[in-house]
Structure 1
Amino acid sequence: MPAALHPPQIRIPAAYLRGGTSKGVFFRLQDLPEACQVPGPARDALLLRVIGSPDPYGKQTDGMGGATSSTSKTVILAKSSRPGHDVDYLFGQVSIDQPFVDWSGNCGNLSAAVGPFAISNGLVEAQRIPRNGLCTVRIWQANIGKTIIAHVPITEGAVQETGDFELDGVTFPAAEVQLEFMDPAEEGEGGAMFPTGRLVDDLEVPGVGTFKATLINAGIPTIFVDAEAVGCTGTELQEAINGDAQALARFEAIRAHGALRMGLIQHLGEAATRQHTPKVAFVAPPKAYTASSGKPIAAGDVDLLVRALSMGKLHHAMMGTAAVAIGTAAAIPGTLVNLAAGGGARSAVRFGHPSGTLRVGAEAVQDGGEWKVTKAVMSRSVRVLMEGWVRVPGNSF
């Protein structure tokens, strides 16, 4: 076949960063091909090819993806034109085996990497970066229309990437970035923090059962159910759920019917192409278990246990946005999360997940009979893994 029929590869400036327990390919908006600088099919096609999707083998061998929900992610950043913000942050969750990018929510883990990337790539004004200390980066999360404040350590005018902050689910220590998710509730489509107006609902799932559920919009739309009600203990590791096709089907049915009840979709068929949101998680009171690393977790180490599913599979640790939902729901007496933690008022919670434990704080107040959360706070570690150019065939988009 003539060589002219095989277009050359193009290269696009990019970086590969780990934020929390996720990894993703980061771009500056201005560096994308012109057709991909606006939302649409060209942008989606490019990101799918960068990550290596759709891949019927489920491996993403011919792309940057790692064949898990935590590693099939893309981020586009630009200087913010929004008052009081430094950078606009757009997150794309790339499907592994289907040809679509889900733009319906944020990635809380990769949120931690946004500030460091923005500082290092000229998206934060130089006068706002201290010689040493913490640089406060004001982030506009464009998917959900929320503000995130990142506190990024700076050493000798550059982002500090190494450190001794340890995060369960990540093998090596690195620099700590503290995140404040401002006013994390009441996300766009879902309306109020509790879209049904109740802290606990009876969620009927035909063919599966009726479950008590807390349906909440905070950090990311999330459906919480009791572990025991869905035949679980709350101590499960990944394989216990991901190796059970029937369990995965049950959780997907719960997720789809919960999405419908929350007003996030208009009919059940939409759930198949909206994999990123809502999340579904199950909670249980504290119990001892052994984390996936072999680390023993004692019942006294945690306030409750939480296991969450992302993109149809049990997550190996905890999604950052789901951690915001956990902290928010734990702060509000009467939710299933709060009850699993022992009930009562609390401003922070430490929960057990498959890889270990995580602490998240939230400030909740009752105003006129309705609960409001001003912010949720947690720390993640961040590291740049690689930077340069990502290459894709020129006819990819």
Structure 2
Amino acid sequence: MKYVSILGSTGSIGRQTLEVIKSFPESLQLVALAAGRNRQDFLAQCLEFRPLVVSLEQEEDAQWLKEQLARRGFYPEIYYGLDGLVKVATCNQATVVVTAVSGAIGLVPTCAAISAGKDIALANKETLVAAGEYVTALAAKHKVKLLPVDSEHSAIWQCLHGESKNSVRRLLLTASGGPFRQWEQGDLAEVTPQMALQHPNWAMGKKITIDSATLMNKGLEVIEARWLFNLDFDAIDVVIHPQSIIHSMVEYGDGSILAHLGMPDMRIPIQYALSYPQRWTNDLPRLNLTELNRLTFEQPDTQKFPSLALAYEAGRMGGTAPAVLNAANEIAVHAFLAGQIKFTDIPSTVERTLAAHQVVTPSGLEEIIEVDGWARRQAAKILSKY
């Protein structure tokens, strides 16, 4: 039996993780839950799964939850805020923590879980983007597994299984290209949040969907892959694959390319992260190869979508640059969703924030968090001038 904590249970990945847990009651048991402000859905989850430890973002919501659960005779430990995320991440009974919160807020509880000896099913890519060197070293110190949940990293992980790292020539991360792949560059300034939230293949949260539309999501995945698989950026390529059937590939030195194919369904990589090293049989929809008309591939257009190039640049700069990239992007995406800036202002805000930053090698987690805060303030200052 594996005992699971979930950070971000009312988001897309969190909900699908709960579906997987329900499908394997003999192998998986939920012990702790944390969510943001969606208290009604969170209440329903608590009543269905009966976790031992729970947390919401706001104190008033946590108090409301306590009253609602008490009326039903259920008395778990209830917390709120960052401290609550840490309590859920370090729940004594948990053996694996699914980090499905969006943004750099996942960094502190993820590191706390690692220090507590919990394996990490990693869906919060910002953790490795902002602090990849620190987090991977911490995981190695505590002999903790980092189990990728992103479909692309899960695909690479599986294609690498049983192979020598020395035989790898390059990783090929696939990207759908988003909803504006075929748009003219000059038209992108007219993109609205509603347009950008219409991803052609995947149902995801708002922030990651916007990142997919700008290709920043793929840039963040490149940085994450560098740390997950310990390869240089020159050995990590991105290829546009609009059908999202091949989730990623690994090219080996002998010319062989191993590809992972499957339906665009996040429950599959979530399940594999939780079942590893086993594979469990499920009844999810199957890929029918005879129904595929074609699989196509293109080079990403970094002139049209500069966020991908910015991510490579920040990754190669190293030090605190990826943390700045990530934080500035979060601020810009939220401003775009609020209707305050144009779609094309997102990468320009990130670029200008990076240009204002003096890159250093962080001494530890505290300095990374300080740089994250600086980047958010700097990005907000830049946004105020649009």
Does the TM-score normalized on the shorter chain lie above 0.5? Answer: no
- Using CA pairs under 8 Å that are at least 6 residues apart, name the structure with larger relative contact order, 1 or 2: 1
Higher helix share: 2
TM-score by length of 1: 0.30
Higher strand share: 1
